[in-house]
Each structure stands twice: as C-alpha cells, then as structure tokens.
Amino acid sequence: MILVLLGAPGSGKGTQAVMLAKTLSVPVISTGDILRQAIREQTDIGKRAKEYVDAGKLVPDGIVAEALKGRIAGGDCRNGCILDGFPRTIVQAELLEELDISPELALSIEVPDSDIETRMAGRRVCACGAVFHIESNPPAAEGICDRCGAALTSRADDRPETVRERLRVYHEQSEPLKGYYERHGKLRSVVGTGDIGEISVRLQNALA
Ligand code: AMP
C-alpha cells in the first residue's frame, strides 16, 4: 500500500510515518531525510539543495525528483511505502502518477499553526533519523538518542524565522494538495493534536 502523509512542517508526519510503517511493514520514504543526508555527505544533489533547505524554501522539483527516484530504485518499495514530505506541490503529485507510484490514500495530519511553532522549538533530532521532543516525546536520557546513543541536535531549519517561512510555503504550495487528493476521493484528515499514540490510532482508523 502506498500512502502519502500530508501536514504542515512539525505536524508529526515523520514520527507518525515511522509508527505506521512498522504496523504495515513497509519503508518510509522521507524526502527531507534524503536531502539532509545528501547535504551532510555533500553529494551533487546535496550541494544543489542546501541553500533552499537552509532557507525553509522548497527545493526545485527536478532536484527532489532525482533524489526520490534514486531512493525508490533501492527496490524495497515493492510492497508499498509511506511517503513523508513528498509530494509537496501538485506538480510533484502528478510526477508520482507519471512514475507509476499512485498512492491509495493521502492522510492529512491537522495541527494549528500556533501549536506548530511551539512544537518545533522543542524538536530534537539524531543523524540516525530518530526524532524526539523535549516535552511530548523525550529521550530516556536528556540529549541522547534512544536508538543509537549519539548526541541529539536541533534542526537548523527549526529556527523560529525559518519555521514561519516554512509554514508560509506550506499554506501556499502544499496545502492545495488536500483539495487535489480530495477530488480523487483519496483524502482522509485526522486531528493531529494530543497524545502521539492516540494520533497514531486515529491514522490507523482512517485506513480502515
Ligand atoms: P521535511 O523534513 O519534510 O520538513 O523537509 C525539510 C526541507 O527539505 C523542506 O523545508 C524543503 O526545503 C526540503 N524538502 C523536503 N521534501 C521536499 C519536497 N517534496 N519538495 C521540495 N522540497 C522538499
């Protein structure tokens, strides 16, 4: 089953994608993670994407599409996958169809902007991909990743001014995807506030 997770930056897409992926036994494809890794490794894609990611802007479609195709070529998506952070625009949604990656459903996690700004200030991440929050999902030992033991950091693009730009970009360019998937009869929206486990149950119920 191919699922798309929609929602503002900081809506919990990444955390919920990992939980849902375990339940469904499919991989998570996160274009944000792929781009951050490419930037760390200073690959050609990373070098071209860096200035956009740092500024909280969308990376041009051609670069993201290249990154996505490279990841999907890995071959582990035969039984489906969860797409976290792709598509971000209607052009990207159409590109997915052209690549024959047609999502069965798009799950939208709804969180008010005012909550998002608070959430992102407390987000802590690890290079291994694990994501924590100092209040709602703290690691067992402060500042240390539960999964691999490395030191946790804040994402550079979680700075308040960059968060505001990412929210602006979300409303302008990504939110219209809800209408796109609704018109295709594929949209399911869930309330994304409250306990992480409860949100996960809401998402699973939305699949039923
Ligand atoms: P995320 O981890 O999903 O919040 O993505 C972090 C950043 O990566 C975004 O602010 C964009 O700069 C870039 N990015 C991730 N996915 C996409 C995409 N599908 N299209 C364009 N830019 C993207």
CATH code where residue 94 lies? 3.40.50.300
Is 13 catalytic? The answer is: yes
Please tell me the predicted confidence (pLDDT) of residue 60: 96
Protein residue closest via CA to atom 2 of ligand 1: 32
Please tell me the predicted confidence (pLDDT) of residue 6: 98
Q: Is residue 74 pLDDT above 80, yes or no?
A: no
What are 29's two structure tokens?
């494809």
Percentage with pLDDT > 70 across the chain: 100
pLDDT tier for residue 75 given thresholds of 50, 70 and 90: confident
DSSP H helices in 41-169 = 44-55, 61-72, 90-98, 113-121, 160-169
> What is the rounded average pLDDT of the residues 157-172?
92
Is 123 catalytic? The answer is: yes
Asked, for residue 74, whether it belongs to a domain, the answer is no
Catalytic residue among 36, 71, 88, 188: 88
Catalytic residue among 123, 124, 188, 202: 123
pLDDT tier for residue 116 given thresholds of 50, 70 and 90: very high
Asked, for residue 39, whether it belongs to a domain, the answer is no
Is 78 catalytic? The answer is: no
Please tell me the predicted confidence (pLDDT) of residue 79: 86
Please tell me the predicted confidence (pLDDT) of residue 41: 96
Asked, for residue 35, whether it belongs to a domain, the answer is no
Ligand 1 atom closest to 92 (CA): 19
Asked, for residue 70, whether it belongs to a domain, the answer is no
pLDDT tier for residue 208 given thresholds of 50, 70 and 90: confident
Distance separating alpha carbons of residues 70 and 55, to the nearest angstrom: 24
pTM (predicted TM-score): 0.89
- The domain of 149 spans 2-26+79-206
Q: How many domains are contained in the chain?
A: 1
How far does the centroid of ligand 1 lie from the alpha carbon of residue 146, in Å?
25
How far does the centroid of ligand 1 lie from the alpha carbon of residue 30, in Å?
9
Asked, for residue 134, whether it belongs to a domain, the answer is yes
Asked, for residue 192, whether it belongs to a domain, the answer is yes
Please check whether residue 15 is in contact with residue 111, taking contact to mean a CB–CB distance below 8 angstroms.
no
Please tell me the predicted confidence (pLDDT) of residue 197: 94
Protein residue closest via CA to atom 1 of ligand 1: 32
Is 48 catalytic? The answer is: no
Asked, for residue 32, whether it belongs to a domain, the answer is no
Asked, for residue 17, whether it belongs to a domain, the answer is yes
